[in-house]
Amino acid sequence: MIDTGYAAFMLVCTMLVLLMTPGLAFFYGGLSRRKNVVNTMVMVFGVIGIAGVAWVVCGWSFAYGGDGSLPFFGGLDQIGCLSAVNDMMAEAAGTPTAFTVLAGEGALADDSALAAGYPALVDIVFQMAFALITCAIITGAVAGRMKFGAVCAFVAVWVVAVYAPLAHMVWGGEGSLIGEMIGALDFAGGDVVHISSGLTGLILCLMLGRRKGFAVMSYRPHNVPFVALGAALLWFGWFGFNAGSEFAADGVAALALLNTVAASAAGVLSWMIVERVRVGKCTLVGAATGLVAGLVAITPAAGFVEPWAALVMGFVVSPVVYFAVSQAKRRLGYDDALDAFGCHCVGGIVGGILTGLFCVPELSWTEHGGLIYTGDFALLGAQVLGIVVTVVFVVAADVVLGLIIRACFKGSLRVSAEQEAIGLDVAVHGESAYPAYLGLD
């Protein structure tokens, strides 16, 4: 039976998460160079079209279809989401339906007597919103130098061949490799969203090579207010991202919401302190980045930890991410243009590991609680193993997929040197964000 309160809660959370993707376009657009801002933003909007269609056609089925017997893959039974629509119509006609989300567990009920909460159609869109923002994060690493067609082709395959199977491995319920067999916890997407997208960005930027002038010239954000606007939209949408991942309007959802605010606040404060010590100034771009770092870190733990632990996680993650984006990138020589890897993958790993320390035993989805509560390393070990499996799967899949896409684009994923020098806005899209601007960026 549908609970209208639960249904309304999930509808609002879904719309909040959907807002995050265009919000990311502003965040990335502000961080990019003036001559590439349109290209940076249109890549994110392109993801909405490509991944959105792919999710309805087969992504949902690959991630959450099937009977749970396969640890790596959902199934083909929900192709086109037709079963969900048919069950919705049957329910409207008064016929019992088996395809309803089990409130509080995020799984598909195979017994109509257990069905409670809200229509499965809502869950399809909610999970689609996660797929959209995950694919969009990847584009930040390749800004300013990857062929637009190659980005589109890569995302079209990645969302169904990498993201959907990984979502099944973590959130697929009984029989899933990471969530069930390993017993790793991921409340709202530390592995599925942040580690996978950030790591994919790293693989692509390594395959592309460095931008012209990398480590020689300074790449400054061209529009700081855009960065702040994008961060604000991400922050607002993240409340639905984390609270909605409880799949019920209850106390755990409220805890996830509080923890989200607490960790992001601590992330901002921690980043500002580090910046003040390191460079003598606090910047708006730094504060916005610290906000996102705190949000990334709390994502896998939002419904599992107490608010004091969320504060600790926010304070810890910002210095780590700060070092990753300001020091490690320069020393290791990889050109992650907008720090998708440094912020999302590194932050996601920090959050996943700290979940193994701070998880309240009574809130855990498994029989194990955090190390500081139980003195038992079982959950911490599961968290680390889950991260390792995620990294291995994503890297292997990305390398194969990247090589295939590169071969399809005449052996190169990269725009020409002339296009890169002119800027992709004019060279690739034929438009400029600032048509009256005549100077250099």
The whole-angstrom separation of Cα 355 and Cα 59 is 28
Report yes or no: 29 and 40 within 8 Å, Cβ to Cβ: yes
What is the side-by-side order of every strand in the sheet holding 117-119?
A: 107-108, 100-102, 117-119
Q: What is the pLDDT of residue 75?
A: 84
Distance of CA 351 to the CA centre of its chain: 13
Q: What is the pLDDT of residue 106?
A: 36
Report yes or no: 349 and 337 within 8 Å, Cβ to Cβ: no
CATH homologous superfamily for 4-422?
Answer: Ammonium transporter AmtB like domains (1.10.3430.10)
Report whether pLDDT(269) > 70.
yes
Between 104-113, 390-399, 406-415, 418-427, the lowest mean confidence (pLDDT) is in 104-113
> What mean pLDDT is predicted for residues 110-123?
61
The whole-angstrom separation of Cα 76 and Cα 60 is 9
> What mean pLDDT is predicted for residues 106-111?
35
Q: Which residues are within 8 A (CB) of 70 and not within 5 positions of it... i.e. 6 or more apart?
A: 168, 175
Q: What is the pLDDT of residue 428?
A: 95
**H or E element in which residue 407 lies:** helix 378-408
Taking the model in full, what pTM does it have?
0.92
The whole-angstrom separation of Cα 55 and Cα 63 is 9
Helix 346-358 crosses helix 378-408 at what angle (to 10 degrees)? 160
Report yes or no: 66 and 108 within 8 Å, Cβ to Cβ: no
The whole-angstrom separation of Cα 235 and Cα 60 is 26
Quick: pLDDT tens for 351-393: 999 999 999 999 999 999 999 999 999 999 999 999 999 999 9
Quick: pLDDT tens for 184-215: 999 999 999 999 999 999 999 999 999 887 76
